Amino acid sequence: MAVRKVYVESSVLGVTLHPAPSPRRRAARALLRRMQQRELEGYISRVTLEEMEKAPTHTFLRLQRVVRQARLKVVAASDESNAIAQLYIDGGIIPSNYDNDARHIAPSHRPRRSDDRCERGQHGTGLPTDRHLHA
């Protein structure tokens, strides 16, 4: 059976560092533990790395350790994913001042078939409907 691929957004990494126990922290840690144990294959993007680099040094080092321990791989942006991110913004799905959110989401989309896209008139996006990471 193929290992399920999961994209991990930077807030999931960040919540693992919160000092107080919470359901979100427990869930994030459990997810990353499954990746560490290779039950899931985890991915982050260059956007996640850019956001991590903005953190104070001590926090960046802790986040880096979380990424290493969970065996997260970096999924690269492509011309296609950049175009999808722009479609999200142009279509008003994601506001332009949240362009990093579009850049997080876009690399994780890939259509199952060439005709497996939302119709512009029906859903307004023309984007793939299946959500699989490019690997």
Cβ pair 32, 9 in contact under 8 A? no
Q: Which of 113, 61, 108, 42 is nearest to 80 (CA)?
A: 108
Q: Looking at residue 109, what is its pLDDT? A: 66
Q: Looking at residue 90, what is its pLDDT? A: 93
The answer to whether the pTM exceeds 0.95 is: no
Q: Looking at residue 116, what is its pLDDT? A: 39
Q: Looking at residue 110, what is its pLDDT? A: 57
Q: Kindly indicate the confidence band of residue 124, based on its pLDDT and cuts at 50, 70 and 90.
A: very low
Question: What's the N-to-C CA distance of the chain in angstroms?
Answer: 17
Distance of CA 124 to the CA centre of its chain: 23
Q: Looking at residue 1, what is its pLDDT? A: 73
| pLDDT tens per residue, range 68-82 | 999 999 988 788 888
| pLDDT tens per residue, range 80-96 | 888 888 998 999 999 99
Q: Say which residue, 122 or 36, is predicted with more confidence.
A: 36
Q: Looking at residue 130, what is its pLDDT? A: 33
Q: Looking at residue 3, what is its pLDDT? A: 87
| pLDDT tens per residue, range 96-118 | 998 888 888 887 665 544 443 43
* Residue 17: other Cβ atoms inside 10 A: 14
Say whether pLDDT at 133 is over 70: no
Secondary structure of 18-70 in the HEC alphabet?
Answer: CCCCCHHHHHHHHHHHHHHCCCEEEEEEHHHHHHHHCCCHHHHHHHHHHHHHC
